[in-house]
Amino acid sequence: MSIEYLKKATLTSRSDASDVHETVRKILEDIEAGGDQTALDYAAKFDKYDGPILLSAEDIAAACDLVPDKLKADIRFAQGNVRRFAEAQKETLKDIEVEVVPGLIAGQKSIPCRAAGCYVPGGRYSHIASAIMTVTTAKVAGCDHIVACSPPRPGVGIAPAIVYAAHIAGADTIMAMGGVQGVAAMTFGLFGLPKANILVGPGNQFVAEAKRFLFGRVGIDMIAGPTDSLILADANADARVVATDLVGQAEHGYNSPVWLVTDTRALAEEVMGLVPHLIADLPEVNRQSAEAAWRDYAEVILCGDREEMAATSDNYAPEHLTVQADDLDWWLTRLSCYGSLFLGEETTVAFGDKASGTNHVLPTSGAASYTGGLSVHKYMKIVTWQRATQAGAKPVAEATARISRLEGMEGHARTADIRLAKYFPDETFDLSANG
């Protein structure tokens, strides 16, 4: 059967895209030209904060003292899980070398970026977990200097729990600056910081646009849009658990899509009946976001069988993908487009968002069809090297000379010619394009 939309979105994550390009361009150009003072001027305008920009050891200690012991223990638990998973990921990167032809050895090695800039949102929500996710992975990768940058609150500064999380995760510098000006400060190496080689972490549309603008001068993890989540559920799924998980992700923001894909009409209808009641029971600030997201962006899709469900999911390429269905191994093998996968009712997206160990900085808006999320690998440069004996260079030089001449690149060809003439003066080679 063809899929049936029991609920269809009226908007998409791109519907309200604002033209922030010119605003971001001007701020970046101003700060690059004006340096520290211009960044401070923008910070005063947007952050409305006049405290220290780079936190001293005393500032960090004072902030950490404000964090309750139980929360500290939870942060350490989450950071330990993220660190262990990142360490396991790093173990998959192996330096190699191979003799591609006799006498010619080529190799690969992994080198971490020197300086990483980690942006940690701190507006409506204090993204403690983002500090853990971004700084820990950079530390495990081996970056020499890691800046954690987070917007301060007027008269307060960075939320103490964010300071604590960034500190124990291994940040070398914690910077109280938000938005485009924070991204610019890390990129341009303001306030005595090393220039960032890579920028990572989520942020609002201005932060995302700044990263887009700067990509090429620096590396970035990805350009993120509104968070999104899809649930695959069959007849045996618990409708209340499914509905609760959808609402939990909808509270991210008014434009955060959530999708339910199922082969069971009764389950879909029960979930659709439960969601409004679960949203109504949320605190006001959360309720407003979830109501708008469910009303304008959510979809409920009825499929004929699990293969059609899987194909639909792959077409959406969600950031978060949950499976609450039988035969989890089948789904793990079959599904191919997602940022992070949550198999079974016993786990949920919030676990990955906060504490289970996998990273929550993930591709949105369908980008999971071609890329994965933040990992220790994002901070690593995979580089190659080679060396050769004279005998090993001989066949490669001959092939290089002929291919280069066929391409019309005579200078390239002559770099091969000179070696053949030097190493094998008594031999004659046909190095013409048609040789």
Per-position pLDDT tens, the chain of length 435: 579 999 999 987 655 556 789 999 999 999 999 999 999 999 999 999 989 999 999 999 999 999 999 999 999 999 999 999 999 999 999 999 999 999 999 999 999 999 999 999 987 667 899 999 999 999 999 999 999 999 999 988 999 999 999 999 999 999 999 999 999 999 999 999 999 999 999 998 999 999 999 999 999 999 888 999 999 999 999 999 999 999 999 999 999 999 999 999 999 999 999 999 999 999 998 999 999 999 999 999 999 999 999 999 999 999 999 999 999 999 999 999 999 999 999 999 999 999 999 999 999 999 999 999 999 999 999 999 999 999 999 999 999 999 999 999 999 999 999 999 999 999 999 999 776
pLDDT of residue 18: 62
- Cα(279)–Cα(289) distance, integer angstroms: 9
| CA max distance for the chain | 89
Name the catalytic one among 320, 377, 398, 412. Answer: 320
Name the catalytic one among 209, 251, 291, 319. Answer: 319
Query: Is 32 noted as a catalytic residue in this protein?
Result: no
- Domain 4-15+226-368, what architecture? 3-Layer(aba) Sandwich (3.40)
pLDDT of residue 2: 79
Tokens (6 digits) for 67: 């964090």
Distance from the first to the final alpha carbon of the chain: 60
pLDDT of residue 112: 97
Spell out the domain ranges in the chain.
Answer: 4-15+226-368, 35-221+377-381, 389-435
pTM of the model: 0.92
- Cα(255)–Cα(16) distance, integer angstroms: 9
Domains 4-15+226-368 and 35-221+377-381 share a fold: yes
pLDDT of residue 20: 86
pLDDT of residue 388: 97
73-115 per-position pLDDT tens digit: 999 999 999 999 999 999 999 999 999 999 999 999 999 999 9
Query: Is 21 noted as a catalytic residue in this protein?
Result: no
The one-letter amino acid code at 223 reads I
pLDDT of residue 1: 59
pLDDT of residue 224: 85
- Domain 35-221+377-381, what architecture? 3-Layer(aba) Sandwich (3.40)
